[in-house]
Structure 1
Amino acid sequence: MLKTLKRALLLPLRLLLALLILFEEWGYQPLARLMARLGRLPVLRQLEHLITRLPPAAALAVLLLPALLLLPVKLLALLLIGSGRFGLGLSLVILAKLAGTAIVARLFQLTRPALLRMAWFARCYASWTIWKSGLLDWLRASEIWRRARLFKRRLRRFMRA
């Protein structure tokens, strides 16, 4: 009975995590492609070339830099929301999230080979990938997912008609 209760309590958390990861991946690929197109510009192409040649520790620092640089922007957004400018604050959070995801997606593509040379990072990345894959497999096999896909197909048919 305790196991059933634990599973029932963890179900909403697991579902929320799976949906957050899915949403993150949904934006990750298109934003990474957009940044790769921007990376064709001469100045950015040179910068990307330098990033791909970084040693592992420097690659990790470069990957973490956007998160640190966006922190003050996110704090400003919270300040705006707290001072009654909800729309402006929310817009700033969304823009920061999109920009941060786009930049980190591209930087990860560029730095992944160097990062994977660090044993601890390679282990964490492998564990994360396995865990994430299992969670997304669970979500895609769930009744909620099947019903959402059915609803999406019906909605598309309705919109075409």
Structure 2
Amino acid sequence: MLRLLMRALAWPFKWLLALLILFEEWGWEPLQRGLARIGRSPGLRWIEAWVRRLPPYGALALFALPALALLPIKILALWLIGLGRVVLGTTVILLTKLVGTAVLARLFTLTQPALMQLGWFARAYGRWSRWKQGLLAWVRASAMWRTARFWRLSLRRRWRAQMRRWRPGQPRRASRRQRGADV
């Protein structure tokens, strides 16, 4: 009975965790690339070079810094929600999550070679990566995910078709399938 109860409670938790990881996956690369573009500016290039040269434990300390720096902002957001300013507090939390993900993604890209020199970190990262891939494979194999993906792609096709009808003078862009056949 206890095992059945634990399995019933684990299902929603697993989905919530999977959605959080999917958000991170969705945002990680584009946000990291956006910060990389900003980091190429002359005034900031030296900071990225300095971060790349950090020793392993220095990189680890720097990697932990965004979580600590954003904690007071998240507490402020919860305080705002407690005062009844739910929309403002939720907006602050979402923006903090977005900025935090961007900074963390860029820092990880810059510090990963140094962090992987730490044996325990490399092992933990390997386990985390395998576990995350398994969870994402479970989600992507689910009927709910496949249905949502079907609807998303269907809506995207309809949207593009509608946009082509609204802009008749624009040249039509070939689909992925058509571009692949031309190559």
Instruction: Settle same-fold status: TM greater than 0.5.
Output: yes
CA deviation after TM superposition for structure 1 residue 79, in Å = 1.1
3-state SS in 1 of match to 2:88: helix
Segments of structure 1 that go 5 or more residues without pairing to the other structure are none
Q: Give the whole-Å Cα distance in 2 for the aligned partners of 1:5 and 1:146.
A: 27
Q: Deviations over 1:14-66 (max 9, x none)?
A: 12211110011111111000000001011211000010010011001111111
CA deviation after TM superposition for structure 1 residue 93, in Å = 1.2
Determine which structure has more spread, i.e. the larger CA radius of gyration.
2
**Larger RCO of the pair (alpha carbons < 8 Å, separation 6+):** 1
The change in CA–CA distance for 1:6 and 1:95 in structure 2 (over 3 A counts) is closer
Structure 1 residue aligned with 2:138? 138
Structure 2 residue aligned with 1:69? 69
Deviation >4 Å, runs of 4+: 1-6
What amino acid does structure 1 have at the position aligned with 2:52? T
CA deviation after TM superposition for structure 1 residue 90, in Å = 1.6
Q: CA RMSD in A?
A: 1.7
What amino acid does structure 1 have at the position aligned with 2:50? L
Structure 1 residue aligned with 2:100? 100
Q: Give the whole-Å Cα distance in 1 for the aligned partners of 2:3 and 2:141.
A: 21
Structure 2 residue aligned with 1:28? 28
The change in CA–CA distance for 1:53 and 1:145 in structure 2 (over 3 A counts) is same
Q: Deviations over 1:56-102 (max 9, x none)?
A: 11001111111111111111111111112222222211221111111
What amino acid does structure 2 have at the position aligned with 1:88? L
| Mapping 1:4-83, distance limit 5 Å | 6-83=6-83
User: Which deviates further from its counterpart, 148-157 or 76-85?
Assistant: 148-157
Q: Give the whole-Å Cα distance in 2 for the aligned partners of 1:9 and 1:74.
A: 27
CA deviation after TM superposition for structure 1 residue 149, in Å = 1.2
User: Which deviates further from its counterpart, 27-36 or 90-99?
Assistant: 90-99
What amino acid does structure 2 have at the position aligned with 1:124? A
Q: Verify: 1:114 aligned to 2:114, yes or no.
A: yes
The change in CA–CA distance for 1:72 and 1:9 in structure 2 (over 3 A counts) is closer
User: Which deviates further from its counterpart, 31-40 or 141-150?
Assistant: 141-150
Query: Structure 2 length normalisation: TM-score?
Result: 0.82
Q: Give the whole-Å Cα distance in 1 for the aligned partners of 2:83 and 2:4.
A: 44
Q: Deviations over 1:113-150 (max 9, x none)?
A: 10010011001000000000011011111111111112
What amino acid does structure 2 have at the position aligned with 1:47? I
Q: Give the whole-Å Cα distance in 1 for the aligned partners of 2:46 and 2:29.
A: 22
